[in-house]
């Protein structure tokens, strides 16, 4: 008996077994089977895994009862190649030489190419292919020019819970409302006693006024998460939310992070970790005035003294001064 005949015999037995099972299954579903009243009993007696059996049965029905559809299908790649198209690759290289990182390039290409747009890891592979994964001197200079143009363009806002008993003898919960610039890392904050919409709005307005007073900043857009105090992205009438109404009055654009994607607001999430480790973790204050006073000192230290690795080991204020023309 040749190998081909053996394969044909195995194939026929496989088909006959499943065709018999399909026939019995349909009888059970029509409540016409002699022995089985429930499908569960049918699965158990024939030692069938429900999900796998239904996968083959549905494929058989969808193919108009074609017997060949019963066989397991080959698992080949969905596309012939996963290589990024040459025109997109050239654009990635061009954007990289202007100082953009992979996340910035992804956000630029996504609206333009849609489903053809490569992932962040795919963009990084292009960097490595052209030896652009590390910034050289020219790319760093271009990056500084981009930062100079985009200073004050996007601000991240968020709220943070303070631990209970941070003030001696007071178990009341206090909150921090923070604002941080996406490019220079300059921050400002306010302490609040609740997170109601009006409270957050006035706290944020005080942050704006302080930053405007200290640095003459003009705000263009705000990035927030989808908390209710910041308004609703899906709302048809945004004027009903105090925070949204204030942004409209100030001509500031409101952007939202993607749901369940905290990395979108990653800079402020990292900032929470810094302030917890350096200021809040082991601190305890006599009263709310002391807490506000110490927090103001820390904000000054963070903006004017503390060196940042991402800012070439400069403080946010010094980094900003070096970028601005004399």
Task: Identify the CATH number of the domain in which residue 263 sits.
Answer: 3.30.420.10
Contacts of range 246-251, beta carbons closer than 8 Å, 24 or more positions apart: 246/201, 246/204, 246/205, 247/222, 250/208, 250/219
In tens, the pLDDT along 1-36 reads 577 777 777 778 888 888 888 889 999 888 888 888
Specify whether 51 is located in the same domain as 178: no
Q: Which two tokens stand for residue 321?
A: 């001064």
In this prediction, residue 91 carries a pLDDT of 92
Specify whether 31 is located in the same domain as 120: no
Specify whether 172 is located in the same domain as 303: yes
The dihedral through the CA atoms of 193, 196, 201, 202 has a sign that is: negative
Residue 233 banded pLDDT, cuts 50, 70, 90? low
pLDDT of 188 > 80? The answer is: yes
Specify whether 274 is located in the same domain as 315: yes
Whole-number Å distance between alpha carbons of 190 and 201: 11
Specify whether 182 is located in the same domain as 289: yes
Domain membership of residue 96 (yes or no) is yes
Q: Where are the alpha helices (DSSP H) in 30-119?
A: 39-45, 50-62, 86-97, 102-113
Whole-number Å distance between alpha carbons of 175 and 210: 19
Whole-number Å distance between alpha carbons of 214 and 203: 17
Share the mean pLDDT of the chain: 80
Domain membership of residue 141 (yes or no) is no
Domain membership of residue 139 (yes or no) is no
Domain membership of residue 212 (yes or no) is yes
Domain membership of residue 276 (yes or no) is yes
Specify whether 215 is located in the same domain as 286: yes
Specify whether 60 is located in the same domain as 113: no
* Domain span at 107: 86-134
Whole-number Å distance between alpha carbons of 245 and 237: 10
- Among residues 132, 129, 128, 131, the alpha carbon closest in space to that of 142 is found at 132
Specify whether 99 is located in the same domain as 61: no
Whole-number Å distance between alpha carbons of 17 and 8: 14
Domain membership of residue 140 (yes or no) is no
Specify whether 239 is located in the same domain as 160: yes
In this prediction, residue 213 carries a pLDDT of 82
In this prediction, residue 144 carries a pLDDT of 59
Name the residue with tokens 């940042």: 308
- DSSP strand E in the chain: where? 154-161, 175-181, 187-192, 221-224, 253-256
Domain membership of residue 296 (yes or no) is yes
Q: Cα-flanking dihedrals φ and ψ of residue 144, to 5°?
A: -65, -35
In tens, the pLDDT along 52-65 reads 889 889 888 888 88
In this prediction, residue 62 carries a pLDDT of 86
Specify whether 165 is located in the same domain as 289: yes
Mean pLDDT of 189-202: 85
Contact 53, 44 (CB under 8 A): no
Q: Classify residue 173 as exposed, middle or buried by CB count within 10 Å of its CB (0-12, 13-18, 19+).
A: middle
Domain membership of residue 77 (yes or no) is no
For residue 91, CA distances in Å to 98, 99, 143 come to 11, 13, 17
Specify whether 182 is located in the same domain as 311: yes
Residue 92 banded pLDDT, cuts 50, 70, 90? very high
Specify whether 307 is located in the same domain as 225: yes
Count of domains observed in the chain: 3
């Amino acid at each position: 008996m040749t190998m081909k005949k053996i394969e044909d015999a195995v194939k026929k037995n496989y088909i006959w077994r499943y065709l018999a099972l399909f026939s019995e299954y349909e009888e059970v579903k029509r409540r016409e089977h002699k022995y089985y009243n429930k499908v569960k009993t049918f699965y158990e007696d024939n030692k069938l895994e429900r999900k796998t059996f239904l996968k083959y049965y549905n494929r058989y029905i969808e193919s108009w009862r074609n017997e060949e559809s019963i066989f397991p299908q080959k698992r080949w790649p969905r596309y012939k190649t996963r290589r990024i198209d040459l025109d997109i690759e050239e654009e990635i290289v061009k954007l990289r030489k202007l100082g953009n990182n992979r996340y910035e390039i992804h956000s630029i290409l996504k609206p333009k190419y849609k489903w053809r747009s490569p992932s962040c890891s795919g963009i990084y592979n292009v960097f490595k292919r052209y030896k652009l994964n590390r910034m050289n001197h020219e790319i760093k200079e271009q990056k500084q020019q981009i930062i100079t143009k985009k200073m004050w363009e996007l601000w991240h806002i968020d709220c943070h819970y303070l631990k209970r008993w941070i003030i001696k003898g007071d178990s009341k919960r206090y909150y921090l409302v923070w604002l941080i610039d996406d490019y220079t890392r300059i921050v400002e904050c306010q302490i609040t006693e609740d997170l109601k919409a009006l409270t957050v709005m006035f706290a944020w307005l005080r942050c704006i006024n302080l930053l405007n007073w200290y640095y003459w900043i003009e705000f263009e857009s705000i990035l927030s998460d989808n908390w209710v105090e910041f308004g609703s992205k899906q709302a048809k009438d945004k004027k009903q939310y105090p925070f949204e109404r204030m942004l409209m009055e100030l001509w500031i654009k409101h952007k939202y992070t993607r749901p369940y994607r905290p990395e979108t607001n990653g800079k402020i999430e990292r900032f929470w970790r810094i302030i917890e480790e350096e200021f809040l973790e082991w601190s305890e204050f006599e009263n709310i005035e002391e807490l506000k006073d110490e927090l103001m000192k820390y904000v000054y230290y963070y903006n004017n003294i503390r060196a940042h690795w991402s800012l070439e080991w400069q403080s946010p204020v010094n980094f900003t001064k070096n970028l601005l023309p004399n």
